[in-house]
């Protein structure tokens, strides 16, 4: 009995219902045009900052999808340093933060270069530095599956099983030949298919999701014919990761009609582009903040936490949250906050459990 699409006799000849794709694809393309128009009306500095934020979000969020919590500022600093851009907070990023940033940059900046097995192996090594228990920088040598065993008294749920290891080199050769061939069709469709196809092969012992999303981002860069993209598909996937895994599982257990996956992908992409307008607003606000306080002496930790606050942080500025973001004690967090109050950066509000701080210039 067939379980997964890679077991079907006509794999990997995907097909879809074009008429079902038109509404979501049309909306996504329209939003792309609106974002491009908005970016033309902001200065070069704001565009550079928005680009930095997009790349940082891609690198940071792709790890969060897999349950790995990297230091946001360390990732941002790695990206900024690699690009030679201003605004890199002086931190010491770990190898994983540097590695995921390097992979993201290679996929999107060098989008014209062929995607090869050696390039994928290098991405794999960047993602998994020092993993002695894994086969890193090469195709997997054994089976791979995604299983949920956390069900007391019940049998485990098998969500996915990949092709046998002996098939991986051939499967990847076919995938890479398709990806590198000239393509005259709809570029967003190619990105979605590449994402699904690579994940279904699951060629590595670990890191397949992160590399699949990097390949999809590379295809998006090729579609737009520019390294400068101002929306993060990966961030939107993270926000909808439950639905993401559900539609992937349904698709991989279905037929080679992948219409449902494509519709979901286009809708998610459209929302990512729409969300970029908010990211642009945050970027402009951050630029105004640092300009307004150019004469303030921030400590390294204060600058690091304020960078988090200014770029998509949804919580209140409290002693507890500052302690968590700055990886420090509450006593030290309290001193940091009081110092910024005295310097005119923050303004205290509320009392007791409601006590928090707001940015003074935005009160």
Write out pLDDT tens, residues 61-117.
888 887 777 777 778 778 887 777 755 455 556 788 888 889 999 999 999 999 999
Secondary structure class of 8 (helix, strand, coil): coil
**What is the residue whose two structure tokens read 């009306």?**
41
Structure tokens given for 259: 């219409």
The model's pTM: 0.76
Chain segment 192-243, per-residue pLDDT in tens: 999 999 999 999 999 999 999 999 999 999 998 887 877 788 888 988 999 9
Q: Are 234 and 197 in contact (CB under 8 A)?
A: no
Residue 132 half-sphere exposure toward CB, CA atoms < 13 A: 0
User: Which structural domains are found in the chain, ordered by start?
Assistant: 5-284 (1.10.3290.10), 297-362 (1.10.10.10)
CB within 8 Å of 196: residues ≥ 6 apart:
14, 248, 251, 258, 261
204: Cβ contacts below 8 Å, ≥ 6 apart: 124, 135, 139, 140, 211
d(CA 273, CA 267) in angstroms, rounded, equals: 10
Write out pLDDT tens, residues 144-163: 887 776 656 677 778 889 99
Cα–chain center distance at 61:
4
């Amino acid at each position: 009995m067939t379980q997964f699409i890679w077991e079907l006799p006509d794999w990997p000849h995907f097909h879809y219902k074009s008429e079902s794709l038109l509404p979501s694809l049309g909306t996504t393309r329209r939003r792309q045009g609106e974002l491009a128009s908005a970016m033309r009306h902001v200065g070069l500095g704001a565009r550079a900052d928005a680009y930095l934020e997009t790349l940082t979000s891609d690198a940071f969020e792709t790890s969060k999808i897999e349950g790995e919590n990297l230091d946001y500022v360390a990732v941002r600093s790695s990206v900024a340093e690699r690009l030679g851009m201003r605004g890199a907070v002086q931190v010491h990023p770990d190898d994983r933060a540097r590695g995921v940033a390097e992979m993201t940059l290679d996929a999107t900046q060098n989008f014209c270069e062929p995607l090869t097995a050696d390039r994928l192996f290098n991405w794999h090594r960047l993602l998994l530095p020092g993993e002695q228990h894994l086969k890193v920088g090469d195709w997997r040598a054994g089976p791979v599956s995604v299983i949920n065993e956390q069900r007391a008294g019940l049998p485990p749920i098998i969500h996915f099983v990949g092709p046998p290891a002996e098939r991986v080199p051939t499967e990847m050769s076919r995938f890479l030949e398709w990806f590198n061939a000239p393509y005259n069709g709809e570029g967003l469709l190619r990105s979605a298919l590449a994402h699904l196809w690579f994940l279904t092969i699951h060629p590595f012992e670990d890191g397949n999701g992160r590399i699949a999303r990097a390949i999809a981002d590379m295809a998006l860069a090729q579609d737009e014919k520019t390294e400068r993209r101002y929306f993060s598909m990966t961030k939107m996937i993270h926000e909808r990761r439950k639905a993401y895994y559900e539609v992937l599982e349904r698709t991989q257990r279905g037929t080679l009609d992948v219409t449902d996956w494509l519709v979901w992908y286009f809708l998610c992409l459209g929302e990512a582009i729409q969300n970029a307008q908010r990211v642009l607003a945050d970027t402009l606000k951050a630029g105004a903040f640092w300009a307004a306080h150019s004469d303030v002496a921030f400590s390294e930790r204060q600058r690091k936490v304020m960078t988090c606050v200014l770029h998509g942080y949804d919580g209140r500025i409290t002693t507890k949250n500052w302690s968590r973001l700055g990886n420090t004690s509450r006593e030290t967090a309290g001193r940091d906050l009081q110092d910024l109050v005295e310097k005119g950066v923050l303004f205290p509000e509320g009392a007791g459990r409601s006590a928090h701080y707001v940015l003074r210039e935005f009160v």
